[in-house]
A and B are shown apart, each in its own frame.
Chain A
Amino acid sequence: GAVVSQHPSWVICKSGTSVKIECRSLDFQATTMFWYRQFPKQSLMLMATSNEGSKATYEQGVEKDKFLINHASLTLSTLTVTSAHPEDSSFYICSAQGGRGNGYTFGSGTRLTVV
């Protein structure tokens, strides 16, 4: 079945630094990938839609200059949290769309802690 690998699974960084999270589709080509943020005991909040070879589409209220998304190939999308602050601490999850009618396949998530 479709597998999405997300790395790292957890990361701790200092305020002001940048962190990159990778999302890879291992056995299928993902023309579209999605990035979500999940606060404790809450649902997934869509941050942006990443399309291979084009600019990401950000949801209202999400700062595109802070959350940089790159989808340079059909198997890799990256989310870079720039100049991280403690309020950026959260659980970030990616998902990939592999084909028509498929349910999205999710990565295992990344827990980001900014200290």
Chain B
Amino acid sequence: AQTVTQSQPEMSVQEAETVTLSCTYDTSESDYYLFWYKQPPSRQMILVIRQEAYKQQNATENRFSVNFQKAAKSFSLKISDSQLGDAAMYFCAYRSLHLMRFGAGTRLTVKP
């Protein structure tokens, strides 16, 4: 069964610094997508970044980038120049044709 593991329940970063959130997954499928979602206190799920498994190039979105290691089934999120507004729960997610699974989440705190 496909599982998504986030081993860091909580992380903290100083404002303007860089932080990396870890995610690993388990699958036997070859065609899938990976996502990082942000859930602020409003509880609205916001897509941060996505990665297609068939693409070797790591996805980037402004201050957010991923390190996708397909062989290792690893998908970490790097947040550069952290801002106070980045404080939230971050969920790693796996999606295949008919399935979507979320990790347990990492609570990110940004210190001013």
Question: Do A and B truly interact?
Answer: yes
Query: Chain A interface (Cβ within 8 Å of chain B)?
Result: 34, 38, 42-44, 46, 49, 91, 93, 95, 101, 103-106, 108-109
Considering only CB atoms, which chain B residue lies closest to A49 in the complex?
B98
Inter-subunit contact B103/A103 (CB<8 Å): no
| CB < 8 Å neighbour of A101 from B33, B44, B47 | B33
- Given A44-B91, A103-B50: A95 in contact with B104 (beta carbons within 8 A): no
| CB < 8 Å neighbour of B52 from A42, A95, A101, A105 | A101
15 contacts between A and B (CB under 8 A): A34-B100, A43-B102, A43-B103, A44-B45, A44-B91, A49-B98, A91-B43, A103-B33, A104-B100, A106-B37, A106-B44, A106-B45, A108-B42, A108-B44, A109-B44
Most B CB contacts (10 A, CB to CB) among A42, A91, A95, A104 go to A104
Q: A46-B102, A104-B95 are in contact. List 14 more A-B contacts (CB 8 A).
A: A43-B91, A44-B102, A46-B101, A93-B43, A93-B45, A101-B52, A103-B37, A103-B47, A105-B47, A106-B37, A106-B44, A108-B43, A109-B43, A109-B44
**How far is it, in angstroms, between the C-alpha of A31 and the C-alpha of B98 when the chains are bound?**
12
The B contact surface, by secondary structure, is strand
Residues of B in contact (CB 8 Å), total: 20
**How far is it, in angstroms, between the C-alpha of A108 and the C-alpha of B40 when the chains are bound?**
11
CB distance from B81 to the nearest CB of A (A): 23
Considering only CB atoms, which chain B residue lies closest to A104 in the complex?
B100
> Which of B49-92 touch A at CB < 8 Å?
50, 52, 91
* Chain B residues, CB < 8 A from A108: 42-44
**How far is it, in angstroms, between the C-alpha of A95 and the C-alpha of B101 when the chains are bound?**
13
CB distance from B89 to the nearest CB of A (A): 8
- Given A101-B52, A103-B33, A103-B35: A46 in contact with B100 (beta carbons within 8 A): yes
* Chain B residues, CB < 8 A from A93: 43, 45
